[in-house]
Amino acid sequence: MFTVEHLDRNLGEVRNYNKKSLFCPRKNLLAYRLSKMSSQYRGIVTERMVRDYYRSIGKRVSYFGGSQSFDMIVNGRRIEVKSAIGRPNSDKTNYTYHFQHICANNFDKLILVFISPEKIHMRVMDSNTVAKYVGAKKKHKSLYVRKKIFGKVLVA
């Protein structure tokens, strides 16, 4: 008669009935579901989504997750994946993303997964570019990124 899927669907509709909610299933169901996860759990999920994406386009992928200082090797390159939820700026046309625990020495490429209420964006940066913004020290740093909703990624 009733299923867990039925309950989840209806709970989501009731919980997000207010259209003013920043993240809601009507805007983007994937972004909404990712926004409801803890940052650690969301990180694991987005790493695996990126892994699956690269495999789907024919890349050779070895996935390590938390057992290495980087998340995976794609075609021989060390890859680190970071995700962040967009928070609106005061002008409501931009979001700020806070990517944490970045050490540019630990990877060749950094994949940033931007989770905005409307869509998910993925950008790739090499370790030299990352080092310019967070430094190449061994201590983990944070990276704040301002991003226009439909524009170019601006790193600050």
Could you report the per-residue pLDDT of 33-85, keeping only the tens digit for each? 999 999 999 999 999 999 999 999 999 999 987 778 899 999 999 999 999 99
d(CA 135, CA 68): 20
The alpha carbon of residue 58 and the mean position of all alpha carbons in its chain are separated, in whole angstroms, by 22
User: Which letter does DSSP use for residue 98 in this model?
Assistant: E
Output the 3-class SS for 127-155.
HHHHHHHHCCCCCCEEEEEEEECCCCEEE
d(CA 18, CA 122): 28
In a domain, 147, yes or no: yes
How would you class 25 by CB atoms within 10 Å of its CB: exposed for 0-12, middle for 13-18, buried for 19 or more?
Answer: middle
In a domain, 2, yes or no: no
In a domain, 108, yes or no: yes
pLDDT value for 15: 59
Residue the block writes with tokens 């601006």: 154
In a domain, 12, yes or no: no
Total domains in the fold of the chain: 1
In a domain, 137, yes or no: yes
In a domain, 120, yes or no: yes
Range of the domain at 127: 22-155
In a domain, 125, yes or no: yes
- Asked whether 35 and 115 are in contact (CB, 8 A), the reply is yes
In a domain, 5, yes or no: no
Whether pTM > 0.75 for this model: the answer is: yes
Q: How confident is the model at residue 89 (pLDDT cuts 50, 70, 90)?
A: confident
For residue 101, what is the domain's CATH number? 3.40.1350.10
d(CA 119, CA 138): 33
Least confident of 35-39, 87-91, 127-131, 139-143: 139-143
